[in-house]
Structure 1
Amino acid sequence: MVSIIILTKNEENDIRGCLESIKWCDDIHVLDSGSTDKTIEISTELGAKISFNKFKSFGDQRNWALDNIQTKYDWILFLDADERTTDKYTQALFDAIRKAGPDVAGFYCCWKMILDGKWIRFCDNFRKWQFRVLLRGKARFKDFGHGQKEDIISGEAQYLMEPYLHYGFSKGWAQWIDRHNRYSTEEAISRSKVRPPFSQIFSKHGSLRNVAIKSWVSRFPGWPLIRFVYTYFLRLGFVEGRQGFTY
C-alpha cells in the first residue's frame, strides 16, 4: 500500500531504529548522499534498497527520489533516519489512504519531539506539520527555508492527526547546536535580503507562518529573552521538567 523513502548521510546511530519501526513495509528505499559510516551496511542488512545521489537540498533530493527510484506503490512516505513510526501512526496512515478520494494529493504529518525519552509537547509547539505522504504524480517538493515545502500538482493535501516520533537530539547536543547555528545564520542572511509580508503571519501553512513570525518578531529588542519566556512559561514548557528547560 505504501512505499517508504529515507534520506541519509552518516546515520548509523539512527537508521536501525528507523528501519525496525517500519518492518510493516515491504518496499523500503534508502537514498544516501555519501555516507562514510555504517549507514549502508545496516540498511542493507535490514533489507532496504539503496540508491545514491549527491545532496544539493532537501527539495531537490526528494524530487530526485520521485524521478529515479522505482517504488512498488504509488503512495510514498518520506521519513528521516531519526524518525520512527508507531502502530497508531501506521494504522492512521493506512486508514487515510483507503479513504482518500481521487482529489487527494497527499497528507501533512505531525510528530512528537522526543528528548531524553520524554515527549516535549509544549516546548516544541505540537502540532507542527510537514508534507510527508504523497501520491506519485500529484505532488513534488520545492526548497523552502532549511528544508522543503510541498508543490501540489493536482488535488489537495489533507492532515493526518496521529503523530510519528522524532528523535531530533539523537546525535547529541553539539550536533544540534551546530546545525541550528547554521540555520540562524542562513535566516539572518535571508532576512537581510527580503522580508515576507506581514500578512504571511496569518497563513494557514505552518512553514510560511513560522518564517514570517521569526522575521518580524526578531526585530524586537531582547528577542531571545522574549522567546524563552514565551516557550517556557506561556507555552507551559516548565511542566516538562528538565527536558523542557533544556530545550
Structure 2
Amino acid sequence: MISVLILTLNEEVNIGDCLDSVAWADDVLVLDSGSEDRTVEIARDKGARVLHRAFDDFASQRNYGLEEGNLRHDWVLHLDADERVTPSLREALRDRAERDEHRAYRVPSKLMFQGRWLKHAGMYPTYQVRFGRREALTFTQVGHGQRGAPPPEQVGTLDEPLLHYAFSKGISDWVRRHNRYSSDEAEHAREMRLRDVDWTTLMTGGVQARRRSLKDLSYALPFRPLLRFLYVYVGRLGLLDGRPGFDYAVLLAFYEYLIGLKRREHARRSGEPSVEASADAPLEADPQEA
C-alpha cells in the first residue's frame, strides 16, 4: 500500500534503525548519493532496494526517486536516514492512504537532542509535506531544504509525528552540515526581496503557509542571531527543556550568524548595496528551520 523513499549519504549510524522502523513496508527504496561507509551494505542486508544518484539538492533527489525509482505503490513516504516512524504514525499513514481524502499530507516531527525530545526549543509541531500520492507529491528547492509542491487545498495534516535524530552523528557533523546549509540560505536570503513576501498568505493563510511567509518577512530584521536565540529560548519556552534547550538555542543563533556573515561577505565582494540602504534590497538572513 505504501512505498518508502529514503535519502542517504554516509548514514551507517542511522540507516539500520531507520529501516527497522519501516520494516512493515514491502517496498523500500534507498536513494544513495555516494556513501563511502557501510550504508549501502546495511540497506541491502535489511532488504531495501538501492539506487545511486549524485547529489545536487534535496528536491531533485526526491523527485528523481519518484520518477526513476520504480516504486510499487501509489502512496509514498519520504524519509531521511535520521528519522524514525513510530507504530502510531504507521497506523496513521495506512489510515490516510485507505481514506484517500487528500493527495498529500504534512507530517510533524519531534526533534531529539541529548537523549530527550525538545518539546519547546524544537518548536513542535513543525511540519513538512512528506507523504502523498506519487503523481501529486513533487518537490521544489527553497534555500537548503525542499517543500512539497501540491496546492494547499490538496494537502492534509497528520497528528502523529516522526522522530528526528538530527544529532545522531554528533555535534561536529551537525556543524559541518549547517555550514553548508548556511551558504544556501545566504544565497536565498540575498535573492529575497520585501516585495516577494506573500502578504495575503501572511494574514489569512494556514499555519504552515503563514510560517513560510513570516520566514520570508523576517529576513529583513536586524540582529538575527540574538533574535533567534530569544525566540527559541524565551518566546518558545525552550528554557523548559533544560540544558538541551539552551544548547540548541545557541546552536541556532550560531547558524543565523553564519548566514549573516556569508551574506555580508557576498555583498562586499559584489559591491551590492546594504540592506539598510533600501527596503527593496535583498534581505539579510534566513531563520532556517533546522
TM-score by length of 2: 0.78
Between the aligned partners of 1:136 and 1:219, the Cα distance in structure 2 is: 37
Give CA deviations for 1:110-144 in whole Å, capped at 9, x if unaligned.
Answer: 10000122000111211111111111222311212
Alignment equivalent of 1:179, drawn from 177, 180, 194: 177
Q: Describe how 1:30-179 pairs up with structure 2 within 5 A.
A: 30-101=30-101, 104-152=102-150, 156-179=154-177
- 1:139·1:154 contact (CA, 8 Å) conserved in 2? no
Output the amino acid matched with 1:204. G
Q: Describe how 1:224-235 pairs up with structure 2 within 5 A.
A: 224-235=225-236
Between the aligned partners of 1:218 and 1:11, the Cα distance in structure 2 is: 33
- 1:123·1:235 contact (CA, 8 Å) conserved in 2? yes
Alignment equivalent of 1:204, drawn from 190, 203, 206: 206
Relative distance call for 1:72 and 1:180 in structure 2 (3 A) is same
Between the aligned partners of 1:211 and 1:187, the Cα distance in structure 2 is: 14
Give CA deviations for 1:57-98 in whole Å, capped at 9, x if unaligned.
Answer: 111111111111112211111111000000111111111111
Between the aligned partners of 1:229 and 1:168, the Cα distance in structure 2 is: 22
- 1:28·1:48 contact (CA, 8 Å) conserved in 2? yes
- 2:106·2:129 contact (CA, 8 Å) conserved in 1? yes
What is the aligned partner in structure 2 of residue 2 from structure 1?
A: 2
What is the aligned partner in structure 2 of residue 194 from structure 1?
A: 192
What is the aligned partner in structure 2 of residue 244 from structure 1?
A: 245
Between the aligned partners of 1:157 and 1:213, the Cα distance in structure 2 is: 20
**1:13, distance to aligned residue in structure 2 (A):** 0.7
Between the aligned partners of 1:198 and 1:66, the Cα distance in structure 2 is: 29
SS in 2 for 1:107: strand
Between the aligned partners of 1:224 and 1:155, the Cα distance in structure 2 is: 35
Output the amino acid matched with 1:143. Q
- The structure with the largest strand share of the pair is 1
Of residues 236-245 and 139-148 in structure 1, the stretch that sits farther from structure 2 once superposed is 139-148
* C-alpha RMSD over aligned residues: 2.1
Relative distance call for 1:145 and 1:209 in structure 2 (3 A) is farther
**1:52, distance to aligned residue in structure 2 (A):** 1.0
- 2:143·2:187 contact (CA, 8 Å) conserved in 1? no
What is the aligned partner in structure 1 of residue 272 from structure 2?
A: none
**1:220, distance to aligned residue in structure 2 (A):** 3.6
Aligned residues: 244
Between the aligned partners of 1:235 and 1:132, the Cα distance in structure 2 is: 25
Of residues 40-49 and 181-190 in structure 1, the stretch that sits farther from structure 2 once superposed is 181-190
Identity %: 39
Between the aligned partners of 2:150 and 2:221, the Cα distance in structure 1 is: 35
Between the aligned partners of 1:210 and 1:220, the Cα distance in structure 2 is: 15
- 2:28·2:48 contact (CA, 8 Å) conserved in 1? yes
SS in 2 for 1:72: coil
User: Which runs of 5 or more residues in structure 2 are unaligned?
Assistant: 249-290
**1:198, distance to aligned residue in structure 2 (A):** 6.0
- 1:30·1:49 contact (CA, 8 Å) conserved in 2? yes
**1:12, distance to aligned residue in structure 2 (A):** 0.6
Of residues 230-239 and 159-168 in structure 1, the stretch that sits farther from structure 2 once superposed is 230-239
Between the aligned partners of 1:152 and 1:50, the Cα distance in structure 2 is: 27
User: Which runs of 5 or more residues in structure 1 are unaligned?
Assistant: none
Output the amino acid matched with 2:17. G
